[in-house]
Amino acid sequence: MITKEKEDLLKFYNLGLTAIRAFEKALAVDPKDGPSVEYVKRSRFYKDNPPPENWDGVYVMTTK
């Protein structure tokens, strides 16, 4: 049996994976779509490098 907290985590994790797939499908239609390119990149980064627990969801650009 898993905790309610872990169940919620898995639900949101799986939702995030569907987001990556959706952006990849958008790129199949238009490989140069800037927002989709960026969101796939960010999604993969956060999948491999989860933000800290106290993260407020703000993304700070470090390059222009």
* Per-residue pLDDT tens listing for the chain (64 residues): 889 999 988 898 888 889 889 999 999 999 999 999 999 998 888 889 888 888 888 888 888 7
Q: Is 13 part of any domain? A: yes
Domain that holds residue 18: 4-48
Q: CB burial class (10 A; 0-12, 13-18, 19+) of residue 8? A: exposed
pLDDT for the residue 37: 96
pTM of structure: 0.67
Counting the structural domains of the chain, the total is: 1
Q: Please report how the helices 34-48 and 4-29 are oriented relative to each other, as an axis angle in degrees rounded to 10.
A: 150
Residue type, 4: K
Q: Is 35 part of any domain? A: yes
